[in-house]
Amino acid sequence: MADTSTQSIVIGAPPERVAAVICDFPSYPEWTEAVRGTEVVEEYEDGYASQVRFTIDAGVMADEYVLAYEYAEDLSRIEWHLVAPSKMQRSQRGSYDLVGNPDGSTTVTYTLEVELAVGMLGMFRRKAEKMIMDTALKQLKRRVETPGAAH
């Protein structure tokens, strides 16, 4: 059974800059600790990735999987799902919702639903999801807000 978790963070940059970092999949290994490698497998006609292969190693969890991406026209929502079950996951669905704030910052809401292929007690699964989301949002914030790191 997959649970959905949601978490938000405010990033000191406009939505376009946040979206640019999220959509720059080849750079993920530079700023996302668990990601060892990424490969854009397929692109849409506009050049945005439609399928991306991830190789991750988070110590307790190592996996390789392909995510299919869809984008709102204004990039205010970027969502994905697992193309096929992997060694560790039966399914994964997620999204980033980006909302511009009057002060020029962006509120990013990350929603993640993962069904693991391996059994894990609910309590530990929720703790792991929270840690994954927490880490992802903090690393995204650091990448976007660090001068010269994002384009």
What are the sequence ranges of the domains in the chain? 4-145
Closest-CA residue to 22 (of 137, 147, 148): 137
What number does CATH give the domain 4-145? 3.30.530.20
**Residue 150 above 50 pLDDT?**
no
pTM: 0.87
For the chain, percent of residues with pLDDT exceeding 70: 89
Cβ 22 vs Cβ 151: under 8 Å: no
Write out pLDDT tens, residues 42-66: 999 999 999 999 999 877 778 999 9
Average pLDDT over residues 67-72: 98
Half-sphere exposure of 1 (CA within 13 A, CB side): 4
pLDDT higher than 90, residue 124:
no
Q: Give the integer Cα–Cα distance in Å for 98 and 35.
A: 22
